[in-house]
């Protein structure tokens, strides 16, 4: 992290930002779709603004530090599969920061749009390859992400992925201080303007999977029982993550390293394949017991994909794929044979493309609601709803809530 430079921040004026709609509400803040009508009167470049109300700092565990940490991480990112910080704002009432708007929603919403609510192997190969690159980039900065789950994988307008939500991430001692070799495979360049637009199928080896079951969702929220310490220790002992995505070493309290992200990647792939996570129990205790003791169950014949998942879901972190040699080890797995990692950003036809909202629609929304960010929060306090929620959220509300999202607050630990 010491070598990464913080980019100069653009200061945003919340009174100049018009709210188009609410994109999402998380444990920490509200994400709004906004337009800067002073600098962008035709509303061509809407962006996402995460707003954290300072009044919540006293009631939410560690919220002040986590919010500022997230801004710091964002200010240092430079990768095609990670967000760019567009600007920040701090007032007596709010901390806010802007990132590019991802039209495609998140991987969880996208999964519900699939037949049987599961992804094909080809789609999994594409999305997981990009997520591996994003994690590789974070690990190179000595940042362990610790919050990989479908809701935190957003789909950019181009159809490529971007990770979001860095408040649970932290710095660990450099990977180079262990046995990690420098990666042999070149990482994709941030420039997404393509010289040769390519078709996904030319880069993706099609791996067929049969007999996948119909899927149900299983999701929970981040949990933490200790205030994470941000000293440069080699291992973190804080208990952090999302129940079903938490690794055995975290459950056991052994401390953890970058390998927790590779464990979570295994869970994510499993959920994309089957529509449910492998270790979910009736309650947290049972889930954690399964995480530590149970082997993941697969349906049908062994495939390259199930082999990859098995190697990522290795209970002993030192034996887990990715432990010794980071992302390079995962990239070398046979499931990715034939994939041109260096041309991943060049893929012009990813599995799914987002529907881009017309400028006129955005203009209409602004005209009908016409509030700036400050007014929006003031109206909330007066219980007057002036701005509609995200259509993707309302559309997918029922299946998500139906399958129980048990919120576990930080204070519970
Ligand atoms: N750049 C973006 N473009 C579109 N939607 C976004 C963007 N960033 C966030 N969202 C939406 O807002 C939701 C909440 O964002 P985020 O996860 O950053 O908030 P949070 O308060 O940290 O949530 P959590 O409870 O997961 O910690 C996301 O799940 C996503 O649906």
How far, in Å, from the CA of 321 to the mean position of ligand 1? 29
Is residue 147 lining ligand 1, measured as CB closer than 6 Å? no
SS3 string, the chain, reads CCCCCCCCCCECCHHHEEEEEEEEECCCCEEEEEEECCCCCCCCCCEEEEEEEHHHCCCCCCHHHHHHHHHHHHHHCCCCCCCCCCEEEECCCEEEEEEECCCCCEHHHHHHCCHHHCCCHHHHHHHHHHHHHHHHHHHHCCEECCCCCHHHEEECCCCCEEECCCCCCEECCCHHHCCCCCCCCCCCCCCCCCCCCEEHHHHCCCCCCCCCCCCCCCEECEEECCCCCCCCCCCECCCEEEHHHCCHHHHHCCCECCHHHHHHHHHHHHHHHHCCCCCCCCCHHHHHHHHHHCCCCCCCCCCHHHHHHHHHCCCCHHHCCCCCCCHHHHHCCHHHCCCCHHHHHHEEECCCCCCCCCHHHHHHHHHHHCCEHHHHHHHHHCCCCCCCECHHHHHHHHHHHHCCEECCCHHHC
Residue 209 has pLDDT above 80, yes or no: no
Question: Is the predicted pLDDT of residue 408 greater than 90, yes or no?
Answer: no
Does residue 406 have a pLDDT over 90?
no
Q: Name the closest-CA residue to atom 1, ligand 1.
A: 101
34 lines ligand 1 (CB under 6 A): no
Query: Does pLDDT of 57 surpass 90?
Result: no
**pLDDT tens, position by position, 257-267:** 999 999 999 99
Residue in 36, 79, 106, 147 annotated catalytic: 147
Ligand 1 atom closest to residue 52's alpha carbon, by position in its atom list: 21
Residue percentage of the chain with pLDDT more than 70? 70
Q: Is 165 a catalytic residue?
A: no
Q: What is the ipTM of this complex?
A: 0.96
Q: From atom 29 of ligand 1, which residue's Cα is the shortest distance away? A: 151
| Res 61: pLDDT | 76
Ligand 1 atom closest to 102 (CA)? 3
Q: Please indicate if the annotation marks 50 as binding a ligand.
A: yes
Tell me the whole-structure pTM to 2 decimals: 0.80
Report CA torsion sign: 82, 85, 86, 91. positive
């Amino acid at each position: 992290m010491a070598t990464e430079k913080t980019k100069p921040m653009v200061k945003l004026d919340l009174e100049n930002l018009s709210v188009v709609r609410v994109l999402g509400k998380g444990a920490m803040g509200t994400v709004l779709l906004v337009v800067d009508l002073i600098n962008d009167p035709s509303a061509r470049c809407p962006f996402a603004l995460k707003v954290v109300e300072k009044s919540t700092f006293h009631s939410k565990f560690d919220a002040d530090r986590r919010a500022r940490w997230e801004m710091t991480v964002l200010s240092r990112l430079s990768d095609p599969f990670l967000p760019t910080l567009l600007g920040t704002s701090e007032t007596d009432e709010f901390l806010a920061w802007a990132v590019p708007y991802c039209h495609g929603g998140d991987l969880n919403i996208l999964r519900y749009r699939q037949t049987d609510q599961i992804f094909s192997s080809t789609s999994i190969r594409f999305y997981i390859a990009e997520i591996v690159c994003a994690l590789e980039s974070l690990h190179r900065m000595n940042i362990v992400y610790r919050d990989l789950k479908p809701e935190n994988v957003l789909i950019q307008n181009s159809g490529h992925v971007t990770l979001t939500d860095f408040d649970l991430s932290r710095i660990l001692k450099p990977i180079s201080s262990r046995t990690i070799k420098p990666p042999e495979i070149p990482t994709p360049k941030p420039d997404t303007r393509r010289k040769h637009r390519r078709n996904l199928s030319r880069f993706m080896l099609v791996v067929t999977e049969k007999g996948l079951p119909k899927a149900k969702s299983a999701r929970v929220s981040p949990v933490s029982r200790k205030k994470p310490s941000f000293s440069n220790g080699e291992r973190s002992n804080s208990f952090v993550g999302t129940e079903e995505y938490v690794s055995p070493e975290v459950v056991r309290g052994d401390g953890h390293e970058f390998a927790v992200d590779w464990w979570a990647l295994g869970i994510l792939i499993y959920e994309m394949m089957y529509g449910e996570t492998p270790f979910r129990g009736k309650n947290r205790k049972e889930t954690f017991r399964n995480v530590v003791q149970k082997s993941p169950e697969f349906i049908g014949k062994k495939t390259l994909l199930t082999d990859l998942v098995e190697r990522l879901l290795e209970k002993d972190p030192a034996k887990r794929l990715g432990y010794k040699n980071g992302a390079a080890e995962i990239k070398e797995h046979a499931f990715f044979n034939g994939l041109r990692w260096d041309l991943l950003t060049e893929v012009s036809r990813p599995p799914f493309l987002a529907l881009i909202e017309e400028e006129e629609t955005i203009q209409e929304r602004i005209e009908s609601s016409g509030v700036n960010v400050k007014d929006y929060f003031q109206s909330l306090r007066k219980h007057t709803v002036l701005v509609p929620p995200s259509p993707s959220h309302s559309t997918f509300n029922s299946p998500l809530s139906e399958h129980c999202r048990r919120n576990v607050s930080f204070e519970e630990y």
